[in-house]
């Protein structure tokens, strides 16, 4: 099975390029699934119903989120009815939406996506390891789920790495999001799980993590705010992770980064 995971989509620049390229990627990489993190898709803060629907209609199978999931008020309603839009699984009981979803490809093969948020330097949620462990115990990798993806939305690289090893052999891919910077550690762990600490972002890298440079620089240098953070709207770069698995086991055979666009050195997997 072949899956492409795209890191945090930042505003219009990231959305437009992702929507343009996803159909091309699906064909050139012979993809079975595309999953994206959409928590910054609406002008850098949250995701709207319209944007969610555009991404799903544009070839995305599942949209994960993170700490910005509730930045748009309408998300609380839409996430309750659109199962393919998920939020971190370790939110307390009673929170709208769900933290995982199972979808099928055209051949009837199951993909399970689990979204979880870290605790280090983040909002205090329930134990991410216990939440992921409980969900993984419901499925058999290679059987009831042919591919299991865990998106850990976290600040600390150590927490992301720990989640990778915690899930090793039980998930097909553990990938980090939130820092918006692609890491150079794509690898297959000892138990067969593909891992990368952060997928990066889909947005304008001539920025401060996707935001127009002026306001972040103002706050760092003068310690005062002069306005809102606004997404940078220059030429975007797409960053993500391509994974190929063994259908019998659900474990990874291959993981490679994907980078395409204006600023970063490009890297495209080749079949």
Active site residues per annotation: 68
| CA-to-CA dists, residue 55 to 7, 119, 167, angstroms | 14, 28, 28
31: three-class secondary structure by DSSP: coil
Neighbouring residues of 154: CB distance < 8 A, sequence distance ≥ 6:
117, 118, 119, 120, 122, 128, 160, 163, 176, 177, 178
Name the nearest CA neighbour of 5 among 264, 266, 256, 270: 256
| CA-to-CA dists, residue 149 to 42, 73, 86, 171, 177, angstroms | 24, 27, 13, 6, 13
The bridge status of strand 147-153 relative to strand 62-64 is unpaired
130: three-class secondary structure by DSSP: helix
Q: Which two tokens stand for residue 158?
A: 């150590």
35: three-class secondary structure by DSSP: strand
Name the nearest CA neighbour of 232 among 215, 212, 205: 212
């Amino acid at each position: 099975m072949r899956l492409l995971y795209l890191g945090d989509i930042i505003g219009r620049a990231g959305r437009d390029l992702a929507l343009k390229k996803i159909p091309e990627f699906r064909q050139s990489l012979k993809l079975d699934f595309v999953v994206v993190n959409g928590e910054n898709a609406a002008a850098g803060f949250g995701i709207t119903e319209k944007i969610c629907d555009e991404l799903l209609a544009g070839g995305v199978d599942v949209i994960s989120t993170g700490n910005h999931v509730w930045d748009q008020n309408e998300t609380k309603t839409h996430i309750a009815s659109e199962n393919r839009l998920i939020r971190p699984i370790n939110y307390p009981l009673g929170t709208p939406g769900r933290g995982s979803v199972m979808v099928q490809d055209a051949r009837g093969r199951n993909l399970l996506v689990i979204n979880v948020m870290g605790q280090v330097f983040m909002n205090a949620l329930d134990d991410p390891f216990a939440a992921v462990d409980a969900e993984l115990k419901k499925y058999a990798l290679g059987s009831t789920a042919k591919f299991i993806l865990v998106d850990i939305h976290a600040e600390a690289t150590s927490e992301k790495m720990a989640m990778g090893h915690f899930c090793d052999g039980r998930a097909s891919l553990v990938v980090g999001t939130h820092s918006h910077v692609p890491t150079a550690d794509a690898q297959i762990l000892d138990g067969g799980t593909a891992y990368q600490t952060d997928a990066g972002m889909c947005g304008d890298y001539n920025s401060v993590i996707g935001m127009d440079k002026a306001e972040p620089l103002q706050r760092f240098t003068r310690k005062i705010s002069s306005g809102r953070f606004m997404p940078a709207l220059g030429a975007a770069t797409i960053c993500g992770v391509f994974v190929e698995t063994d259908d019998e086991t659900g474990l990874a055979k291959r993981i490679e980064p994907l980078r395409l666009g204006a600023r970063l050195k490009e890297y495209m997997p080749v079949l």
